Structure 1
Amino acid sequence: MSADERRTSVAVLGAGLIGIDLVDKIQRSRHLELRLVVGRRRESLGLARAAALGCPTTSGGISSLLEAGSFDVVFDASNADVHAGHWAALRDSGTTLIDLTPTQLGTFIVPTVNGDQAAAHRHINLVSCGGQAAIPLLHALAQHCTPSYIEVVSTGASASAGRATRLNLDQYIATTQAAIRYFTHAPDVKVMVNLSPARPAPPFRVVMTVLAADLNPGLTRAAVTSAAEEVRAFTPGFAVTSLDARDGRASVAVEVTATGGRIPKYAGNLDIINGAALLFAEQHAAAPSR
């Protein structure tokens, strides 16, 4: 069997900003074979871009994907309102569905935290871009203290937020809050999102505040630094820009600069969730059960 035949077959459902950057990342993977990009409308710009990249494309959404055959992995880069229907359609197919929309369906996965569960679940929830930026650090910090309150404020460039992102902002907030509680066990979590129209467009920024009476400043700094290095391995533009820990309070700020060739540098929000999606799919491909 050739190396290509051993690669995991994948499809991307959604041809918006997230979907097309994901296409570019998959094409550079040695472990994944992109067999289809699915959009809603034949005349969409995203499908035209995917075709220009040499990808097989089809319109018509989930029904067209089902007609095209079976895939090991499907990335859902559409929107939260239709994701439940996508899972219902694929549940009995044996496909692993990786959800890049901010629903609360499926198993929460942050690859550097619990990516070792790649073989255990078929319905994967990647939380949100803000969740993928914040949770690795918050989870690491929570191994050394007991957070009573966590606040996460994400700011992204307005130009980096497509129609689906704007429609799903309420789901984004609710899902990110739920995932932070899941990974840190903090009883009180608050998530806020800003879309900035500033020019030049700002990079994607996430600021985290943690209150914990037993917080140890030295352990906090070490935990955050180590977790950030792990994130940087799959999102090179990820950087901790400030870190302060004292008197039961930690404040951590990160910026994510996109380093891919298909999206502008300010679209770090797309870069980090797509990087996480790609990493998890490759973890899935390498899982022993395969």
Structure 2
Amino acid sequence: MLNTAVLGTGLLALDLVERIQASPHLGCGLVIGRTPQSMGMAQAARMGCATAAGGIGALADAGEAFDIVFDVTNAFAHPTHWAQLAKTDTTLIDLTPTSGGTLIVPAVNGHQAAAHRHIGLITCGGQASIPILHAITQHYFPDHVEMVATAASRSVGRASRLNLDEYIEATQSAIQQFTQAGTAKTMLNISPASPAPPFRVAMTIVAPGAEPGPVRELVESAATTVRALIPGYRLVSCAVTDDTVRVVVEVTATRNGMPTHAGNLEVISAAAIFAAEQHALARIPALEETSR
């Protein structure tokens, strides 16, 4: 079992803690927050986790080794976190909207996760859209790709709001990397609607030669693959008109303690645990050999 630490105490970080505790391959050794009296720190303690305040410095003060650290802070802090861990044996899984590390999307290149120690998960919009976009653009060359994500205001925390520019840049860059599109554009809407809407991602791909039947098959297959990891992932529509493909998906959170509108958080949390468990599974043969 790999020992992990979580940097952050928000709703997303606490969902990670719960997933770690439910994993047969991961253990939560420490949850780190900014201040000792926060609600998130208190909740982590009630969940049975050791807690510490003071940021990444608390890792060294903990007096134990961590195989994996999940960074659930913000894009401004992440480079410093990696700089401190780069010379160690710790794997850093980045849930902030930065472009650092090897970008992993489980439904596309998840098999590569175990080979890298600095893993970037792009953004919730990237995780929700790239499997669909990648599936289409493996068969039709895209001149242009657009992605518009809409998240409920209640599911977008303070750190995410501070990182909106980084969110757009990281998502747009990743879409171009995974699709090889000539140009790409990304937008994020934060909806104050009541009741809060589910996380929604609308994609537009300009791809000469795209045909309705084959495109639909590609999209449905990709959606099925994603749904195996994220049960609330749903294909809403798929249409092809004059070489333009339009696809809409919605993600409803299905986990206990997670509001149904917070599909954006569930998308990135599921990807993080997937990457961590790939590391654990890759080490099992070595661990079994050592124990003999």
TM-score computed with the length of structure 2 as normaliser? 0.95
Q: Percent identity?
A: 55
Shift in Å, 1:131: 0.4
- Note the alpha carbon deviations across 1:33-88, whole angstroms, 9 max, x for none: 11111111101111111111111111111000122122111110000000000000
Match of 2:209 among 214, 219, 230: 214
Cα distance in structure 2, aligned partners of 1:29 and 1:208: 33
Match of 1:87 among 82, 92, 97: 82
State the Cα RMSD in Å.
1.1
Equivalent position of 1:205 in the other structure: 200
Question: Which stretches of structure 1, 4 residues or longer, exceed 6 Å deviation after superposition?
Answer: none
Matches within 5 A, 1:57-206: 57-68=51-62, 69-206=64-201
Amino acid at match of 2:5: A
- Note the alpha carbon deviations across 1:211-240, whole angstroms, 9 max, x for none: 011213222111111111111111100000
Matched, 1:235 2:230: yes
Matched, 1:246 2:241: yes
Matched, 1:47 2:41: yes
Aligned to 1:192, the other structure's residue is in SS state: strand
Report if the CA contact (8 A) 1:213-1:248 is conserved. yes
Shift in Å, 1:264: 0.4
- Which blocks of at least 5 consecutive residues in structure 1 are unaligned? 1-6
- Note the alpha carbon deviations across 1:99-152, whole angstroms, 9 max, x for none: 000011111110121111123211100000000000011111111100111110
- Note the alpha carbon deviations across 1:242-290, whole angstroms, 9 max, x for none: 1112320111101100011121000000001001111111112112685
Match of 2:256 among 257, 261, 285: 261
Cα distance in structure 2, aligned partners of 1:119 and 1:200: 40
- Note the alpha carbon deviations across 1:158-183, whole angstroms, 9 max, x for none: 00011000000100000000000010
Equivalent position of 2:24 in the other structure: 30
- Note the alpha carbon deviations across 1:179-205, whole angstroms, 9 max, x for none: 000100002100000111111000000
Cα distance in structure 1, aligned partners of 2:45 and 2:122: 29
Aligned to 1:81, the other structure's residue is in SS state: coil
